[in-house]
């Protein structure tokens, strides 16, 4: 049974989260209301997962995460309020070692937290499945540049990357390590709520050499551009002409219970992309991306999966490997290199 | 959906606590605008409120608290100043939030539409720029100021329409106004000068029209609407960023003068008066909002565990008892019964302890009430509370809420003088009211003292005579503290002046009754021009009292043993009669003898020589009580009477005995 600790200064949130998790068969071993108790409860109870509110008295969520990570790494989910600085604090929390976040309803729409119960349970389960030993690996490592000269990557190459729990850090690293001169066209599908995907794209833009933005409907992705699929919409590649990929939003049903789904983007890319194509699936719970990689493979593209050792959750990459359609299984720090190598001297 | 309603209960309780915290922190902030701690508390609590509304999906309430949070954010960052008007706005918003929480508690969802308040807050946030915009309107252009439109879907614009100073201006204006009324896109709110004045032609060719439009519309549409009218010479459209401020025109005359309409200032100040009347009545309703009963208590897990263990012991003990009785071992049964008694009484102690809640629970909103009342009456009052963490039984506290409110209200209304009067008297402009809670063994005293005018002894005397409570002769011999006691006399209070406090007419007589009903006492001290202090002394816990049962005729009554000094047989005492009153002398003190049969009107009681006499402790009341017999003692729970029976002299309540028999408990002080 998954054991969870809840830390939130709102009694309402503590109660609702407890109810939701308990109803889903997760054992809430303790619910605390301030930062000091949060650190104490996590270290004492050694839960599989903890949810951490950012705004708490005496020690905020960021400090809690930092202390826990220093003392005994434990998978933690940040409870994020969207308003004001919510999004940037959330990414800050991810930087400090939180594996994922749950977005609190903002109240802007008449949507209450009960409507998010499935998503919450899924995220908590995914976080609980994280192997704590992967949490500290390579933290803050310097970007490793590919040994392959970028000029051997053919023009008009496309990379489609899908990731989920634990993915933002890996994506940031990989995108930073991909040489700008390779002028890749990068499509990123990270399972993330709307409103955060935009902020995430901005972050990647600031921290990597790629021109990164949240994909908009009818957008075109040129050489050296990276787009992040918008939360709540599937991202489809509709055409590849004049060196630019045309993309569109698809408001169809969730696939694998997620939206954006990696499979949608990868399948459409396999169909529409004419040049060299690489698909990669990183850490995450579930099966999304496996079928997408197979489609890319079938269309003559190359496929990569993150290895079990470095994946926080070896769910999606594992399922992809099981299909037999994965060309390379690589640790986190060799993913960028692998992508470039796959495109090296592409014969197509 | 049981689960959801559980969350709602938590939500309502937490929100109520937050609202009270918010109110008090806001008061701190108002008193000390630079206080970092206050603003941080205010901000954190507002944030939590907003978050909880969001979680629960109450969008409108979340938006309102979001607006408050944003305004507070501006204050925190020093971009906005703490002004009384701004604080009024925040308080108004907090009241509305409270109302919405009440509605959620009642119906599961809020029904109040906070759009207007949100608009006012948003307007206050960008008040500076909006005001600048209205002061320098560019002719023939529509200045659409980004305002609260995003939040409530409606925004307000003022169109200054010039139909030209012609003979036909009256008719032209009416055409324009009719067309405005017919337009689908906007709603005519009001005009300056008012419509009658315009239709009478008493204006100089220019008038203002205030319009409410959907958010999607902007000033341009309004401008073109009027520009297209052949009756209009020119038009200026401004966003009315702050509807509230504009309507209470007093502080912002510039906004109404800028139209250049001669009659505008008059009319608008009329408007302003109307509105301020309205807001006055609103403030009164704030002051009179109901006092909530303490509906939930927080319990230490330890206490619950202890409780559980005790219950377990009781169950075990019961099993043992049954076995013993089956085996007819009556001696052991008695022993076990003793054990059972011990468990019961420790169980009792635990439960009583759990029922204790801090005084703060009911006085927590007093600072806010005093603030509103003081502002309403133009008084300056520093209200302080001390010792409000002292705990009392929940049921006693609930009873006290209205009386305390009344005492506080009295202190504000009649105690503290207006600032000018205080200055004349050589006192600081600002008056002080202090509420102090103190625990002394098993009693808690609550004192409300003010440094105001003090009780007017002559006025009280006059009024007492006027109301026929006493004759002039009787009054003349009273000393001052006896005069003060007159205010507790039923019929002394003028009910009409107090009904609005609690909505159910509380006078000092009722305060007195309530306090006595929970086995408390009340004391008033006053010094002319120095102030008044009212002290309530109350038991910490409900009355589980050891009483002596006495009979008179066939009836049985209880007298609390703590009140009794001695029990004697009548025949052992010497009874004298002075001025028709039987008395007993003991230790050189004279004790009037009260015969229960007379006092309680028990007709068939036969007096005999073996009647008993109970001497009451002198600090309670210097009397002896004559009854037929004394029949034993027992620990009982006294239930104070409520409603029609409350305040019945001589009776403090009733107790239900084991067999379901109800026994009246005598209140020897009022017998």
Asked if A207 has any chain B CB less than 8 Å from its own CB, the reply is no
- Residue A53 contacts residue B41 (beta carbons within 8 Å): no
Q: Residue B21: what pLDDT?
A: 86
Give the C-alpha separation, A13 to A310, whole Å: 33
Query: B394-417 as b/e, with b when 16 or more CB fall inside 10 Å?
Result: bbbbbbbbbbbbbbbbbbbebbbb
Check CB contact under 8 Å for A105 and B57: yes
Which of A11, A57, A108 lies at the smallest CB-CB distance from B14? Answer: A11
Cα–Cα distance between A162 and A224 in angstroms, integer?
18
Q: Closest by alpha carbon to A62, among A7, A109, A128?
A: A7
Q: State the Cα–Cα distance between residues B177 and B184, nearest whole angstrom.
A: 13
Nearest to A104 among B6, B51, B66 (CB): B51
In whole angstroms, what separates CA A89 from the centre of its chain?
17
How many CB atoms within 10 Å of residue B570? 18
Q: What is the pLDDT of residue A268?
A: 95
Q: CA–CA separation, B633 vs B439, rounded Å?
A: 29
Is residue B400 pLDDT above 60, yes or no? yes
Other beta carbons within 10 Å of A109: 12
In whole angstroms, what is the distance from residue A239 CA to residue A217 CA? 13
Q: Which of residues 69-88 of B touch A (CB under 8 A)?
A: 69, 73
Largest CA distance in chain B: 114
Among B7, B9, B97, the residue to mutate for chain A (most A Cβ within 10 A): B7
Structure tokens at B639: 């239930």
What strands lie across the sheet with B521-527, from one edge to the other?
B381-386, B431-440, B443-450, B531-539, B521-527
pLDDT at B493: 60
B64 three-state secondary structure: helix
Q: Who among A15, A84, A115 is closest to B7 (CB)?
A: A15
Band of residue B164 on the pLDDT scale cut at 50, 70, 90: confident
Q: Is there a contact between B257 and B264 (Cβ–Cβ < 8 Å)? A: yes
Instruction: Write down the ipTM of this complex.
Output: 0.75
| pLDDT level of residue B458 (50, 70, 90 thresholds) | confident
Enclosing H/E stretch for B590: strand B589-595
Q: Give the list of residues 6+ apart from residue B171 with CB closer than 8 angstroms, or none.
A: none
Note whether A41 and A64 are within 8 A (CB).
no
Amino acid A39: pLDDT:
95
Question: In the 8-state DSSP scheme, what is residue B381?
Answer: E
B179-237 tens-digit pLDDT? 777 676 677 777 777 777 777 777 778 888 877 776 555 677 777 777 777 777 778 77
**Chain A within 8 Å of B11 (Cβ-Cβ)?**
yes
Which of these, A109, A16, A107, A17, lies nearest to B97 by C-alpha position? A107
Report how far residue B375's alpha carbon sits from residue A105's, in angstroms, rounded to the nearest whole number.
38
How far is the C-alpha of B557 from the C-alpha of B560, rounded, in Å? 10
SS3 A281: strand
Q: Are strands A234-241 and B391-393 parallel, antiparallel or unpaired?
A: unpaired
**φ/ψ (deg, to 5) at B23:** -55, -45
pLDDT digits (tens, 9 = 90+) for B103-148: 888 888 888 888 888 888 888 887 654 443 344 343 343 433 344 3
| Helix, strand, coil percentages for chain A (3-state, nearest 5) | 40, 25, 40
Catalytic residues of A: 164, 191, 288
Q: How far B54 CA sits from the closest chain A CA (Å)?
A: 4
Q: Are B539 and B455 in contact (CB under 8 A)?
A: no
Q: Are B633 and B561 in contact (CB under 8 A)?
A: yes
In DSSP notation, A197-266 reads HHHHHHHHHHHSSSEEEE--TT-EE-TTEEEEPPTTSEEEEEEEETTEEEEEEE----BTTBSS-HHHHH
**What SS3 class is residue B101?**
helix
Residue-wise pLDDT tens digits, A234-261: 999 999 988 899 999 999 899 998 999 9
Beta strands in B456-588 (DSSP E): 521-527, 531-539, 544-552, 555-560, 564-569, 575-578, 581-586
Residue that wins the pLDDT comparison between B462 and A51 = A51
> pLDDT class for A303, splitting at 50, 70, 90?
very high
pLDDT of residue B270 exceeding 50, the answer is no
Contacts of A108 (CB under 8 A, 6+ apart): B59, B62, B63
Integer Cα distance of B387 and B358 in angstroms: 9
User: How far off is chain B from A28, nearest CA to CA, in Å?
Assistant: 16
| Full-model pTM | 0.59
Q: Choose among B179, B170, B177, B226: nearest CA to B199.
A: B170
pLDDT for position B506 = 55
Closest CA to B119 of B147, B84, B85, B91: B147
B188: tokens are 């005519």
What is the mean pLDDT of the segment spanning B379-388? 91
Is A81 an interface residue toward B (CB < 8 Å)?
A: yes
Tell me which chain B residues have a C-beta less than 8 angstroms from the C-beta of A23: 3
Percent of chain B having pLDDT more than 90? 8
**Mean pLDDT, residues B311-323:** 75
Which tens digits make up the pLDDT trace of B554-570? Answer: 888 999 888 899 998 88
Residue in the block written with tokens 């009903």: B517
Question: Distance (Å, rounded) from C-alpha B125 to C-alpha B79?
Answer: 9
Contacts of B62 in chain A (CB under 8 A): 106-108
User: Which string of b and e fits B466-504 if b means at least 16 CB within 10 Å?
Assistant: eeebbeeeebeebeeeebbbbbbbeebbeeeebeebbee
Residues of A in contact with B52 (CB under 8 A): 10, 12-13
> From A108, which residue of chain B is nearest by alpha-carbon distance?
B59
CB A167 within 8 A of CB A126: no
Q: Which residues of chain A lie closer than 8 angstroms to B97, CB-CB?
A: none
Compute the average pLDDT of residues A260-274: 94
Average pLDDT of span B48-65: 86
φ, ψ for residue A261, nearest 5 deg: -105, 140
Mean of all residue pLDDT scores within chain B: 76
The predicted pLDDT at position B293 comes to 59
A126-168: pLDDT as tens digits: 999 888 888 775 545 555 555 566 777 888 899 999 999 989 9
pLDDT, tens digit, 9 for 90 and up, residues B638-666: 766 665 666 667 787 787 775 667 888 88
Among B10, B14, B47, select the one facing A55 at the smallest CB separation: B47
Mind giving me the DSSP string for A58-126?
SS-HHHHHHHHHHHS---EEEEE--TTTHHHHHHHHHHHT--EEEEPP-SSSS--GGGGHHHHHHHHHH
Cis link prior to B221 (omega < 30° from 0)? no
| Residue B7 in contact with partner chain A when CB distance is under 8 A | yes
**Cα separation, A112 vs A114, whole angstroms:** 5
Q: Are the C-beta atoms of residues B108 and B8 closer than 8 Å to each other?
A: yes
Q: φ, ψ for residue B109 (rounded to 5)? A: -155, 155
Pick the range with the lowest mean pLDDT from B175-184, B291-300, B516-525. B291-300
* CA–centroid distance for B477 within its chain: 38
Cα distances from B19 to residues B16, B23, B38, B111, in angstroms, run: 5, 6, 14, 18
Nearest-CA distance from A214 to chain B in Å?
Answer: 24
**pLDDT, greater one: B588 or A188:** A188
Whether residue A119 contacts residue A103, with contact meaning beta carbons closer than 8 Å, is answered with: no
For residue B376 the two structure tokens come to: 């309403």
8 Å CB contact between A305 and A280: yes
- E-strand stretches of B264-408: 356-358, 381-386, 391-393
Please give the DSSP secondary-structure letter assigned to residue A150: G
Cα angle, residue B640 at apex, residues B635 and B643 outer, rounded to 5°:
160
- Find the range with the poorest average confidence among A12-16, A170-174, A222-226, B149-153: B149-153
The structure tokens 């000092």 sit at B508
């Amino acid at each position: 049974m998954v054991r969870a600790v809840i830390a939130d200064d709102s009694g309402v949130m503590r109660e609702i989260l407890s109810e939701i998790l308990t109803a889903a068969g997760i054992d809430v071993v303790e619910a605390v209301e301030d930062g000091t108790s949060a650190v104490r409860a996590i270290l004492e109870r050694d839960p599989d997962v903890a949810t951490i509110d950012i705004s708490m008295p005496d020690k905020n969520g960021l400090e809690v995460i930092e202390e826990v990570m220093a003392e005994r790494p434990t998978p933690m989910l940040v409870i994020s309020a969207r308003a004001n600085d919510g999004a940037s604090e959330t990414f800050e929390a991810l930087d400090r070692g939180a594996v994922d976040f749950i977005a609190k309803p903002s109240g802007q729409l008449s949507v209450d937290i009960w409507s998010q119960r499935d998503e919450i349970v899924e995220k908590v389960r995914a976080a609980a499945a994280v192997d704590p030993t992967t949490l500290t690996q390579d933290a803050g490592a310097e970007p490793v540049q590919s040994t392959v000269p970028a000029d051997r990557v053919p023009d008009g190459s496309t990379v489609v990357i899908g990731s989920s729990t634990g993915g933002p850090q890996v994506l940031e690293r990989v995108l930073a390590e991909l040489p700008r001169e390779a002028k890749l066209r990068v499509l990123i599908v990270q399972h993330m709520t709307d409103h955060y995907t935009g902020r995430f794209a901005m972050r990647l833009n600031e921290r990597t050499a790629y021109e990164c933005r949240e994909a908009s409907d009818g957008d075109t992705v040129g050489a050296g551009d990276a787009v992040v699929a918008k939360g709540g919409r599937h991202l489809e590649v509709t055409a590849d002409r004049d060196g630019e990929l045309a993309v569109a939003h698809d408001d169809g049903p969730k696939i694998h219970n997620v939206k954006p789904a990696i499979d949608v983007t990868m399948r459409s890319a396999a169909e529409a992309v004419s040049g060299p194509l690489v698909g990669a699936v990183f850490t995450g719970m579930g099966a999304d991306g496996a079928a997408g990689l197979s489609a890319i493979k079938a269309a003559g593209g190359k496929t990569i999966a993150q290895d079990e050792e470095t994946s926080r959750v070896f769910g999606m990459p594992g399922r992809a490997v099981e299909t037999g359609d994965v060309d390379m299984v690589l640790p986190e720090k060799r993913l960028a290199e692998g992508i470039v190598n796959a495109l090296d001297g592409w014969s197509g | 959906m049981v689960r959801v309603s559980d969350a709602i209960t938590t939500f309502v309780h937490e929100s109520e606590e937050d609202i009270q915290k918010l109110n008090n922190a806001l008061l701190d902030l108002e008193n000390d605008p630079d206080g970092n701690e206050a603003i941080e508390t205010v901000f954190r609590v507002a944030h939590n409120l907003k978050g909880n509304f969001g979680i629960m999906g109450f969008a409108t309430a979340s938006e309102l608290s979001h607006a408050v949070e944003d305004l507070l954010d501006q204050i925190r960052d020093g971009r906005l100043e703490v002004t009384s008007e701004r604080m009024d706005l925040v308080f108004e918003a907090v009241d509305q939030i409270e109302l919405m929480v009440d509605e959620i508690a009642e119906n599961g969802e809020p029904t109040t539409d906070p759009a207007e308040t949100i608009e006012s807050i948003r307007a206050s946030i960008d008040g500076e720029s909006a005001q600048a915009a209205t002061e320098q309107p560019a002719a023939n252009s529509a200045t659409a100021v980004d305002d609260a439109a995003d939040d409530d879907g409606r925004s307000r614009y003022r169109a200054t329409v010039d139909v030209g100073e012609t003979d036909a201006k009256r008719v032209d204006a009416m055409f324009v106004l009719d067309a405005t009324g017919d337009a689908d896109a906007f709603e005519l709110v009001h005009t300056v000068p008012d419509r009658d004045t315009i239709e009478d032609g008493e204006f100089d060719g220019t008038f203002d029209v205030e319009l409410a439009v959907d958010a999607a519309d902007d000033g341009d549409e309004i401008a073109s609407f009027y520009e297209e009218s052949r009756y209009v010479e020119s038009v200026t459209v401004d966003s009315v960023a702050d509807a509230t401020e504009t309507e209470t025109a007093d502080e912002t005359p510039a906004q109404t003068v800028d139209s250049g309409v001669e009659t505008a200032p008059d009319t608008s100040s009329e408007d302003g008066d109307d509105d301020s009347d309205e807001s006055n009545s609103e403030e009164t309703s704030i002051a009179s909002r109901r006092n909530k009963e303490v509906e939930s208590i927080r319990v230490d897990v330890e206490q619950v565990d202890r409780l559980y263990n005790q219950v377990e012991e009781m169950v075990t003990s019961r099993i043992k008892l049954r076995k013993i009785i089956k085996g007819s071992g009556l001696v052991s049964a008695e022993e076990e019964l003793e054990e059972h008694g011990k468990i019961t009484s420790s169980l009792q102690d635990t439960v009583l302890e759990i029922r204790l809640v801090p005084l703060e629970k009911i006085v927590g909103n007093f600072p806010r009430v005093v603030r509103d009342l003081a502002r309403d009456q133009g008084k300056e009052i520093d209200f302080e509370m001390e010792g409000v963490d002292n705990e009392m039984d929940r049921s006693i506290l609930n009873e006290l809420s209205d009386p305390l409110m009344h005492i506080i209200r009295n202190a504000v209304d009649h105690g503290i003088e207006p600032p000018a009067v205080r200055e004349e008297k050589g006192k600081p402009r600002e008056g002080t009211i202090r509420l102090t809670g103190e625990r002394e063994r098993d009693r808690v005293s609550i004192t409300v003292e003010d440094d105001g005018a003090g009780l007017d002894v002559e006025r009280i005397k006059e009024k007492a005579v006027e109301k026929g409570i006493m004759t002039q002769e009787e009054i003349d011999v009273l000393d001052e503290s006896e005069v003060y006691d007159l205010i507790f006399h039923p019929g002394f209070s003028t009910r009409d002046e107090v009904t609005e406090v609690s909505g159910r007419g509380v006078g000092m007589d009722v305060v007195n009754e309530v306090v006595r009903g929970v086995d408390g006492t009340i004391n008033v001290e006053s010094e002319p021009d120095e102030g008044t202090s009212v002290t309530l002394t109350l038991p910490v816990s409900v009355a589980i009292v050891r009483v002596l049962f006495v009979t008179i005729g066939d009836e049985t009554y209880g007298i609390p043993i703590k009140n009794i000094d001695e029990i004697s047989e009548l025949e052992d005492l010497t009874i004298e009669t002075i001025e028709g009153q039987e008395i007993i002398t003991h230790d050189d003190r004279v004790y009037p003898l009260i015969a229960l049969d007379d006092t309680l009107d028990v007709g068939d009681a036969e007096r005999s020589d073996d009647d008993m006499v109970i001497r009451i402790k002198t600090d309670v009341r210097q009397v002896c009580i004559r009854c037929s017999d004394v029949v034993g003692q027992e620990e009982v729970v006294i239930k104070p009477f409520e409603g029609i029976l409350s305040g019945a002299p001589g009776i403090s309540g009733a107790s239900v005995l084991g067999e379901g028999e109800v026994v009246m408990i005598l209140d020897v002080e009022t017998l």
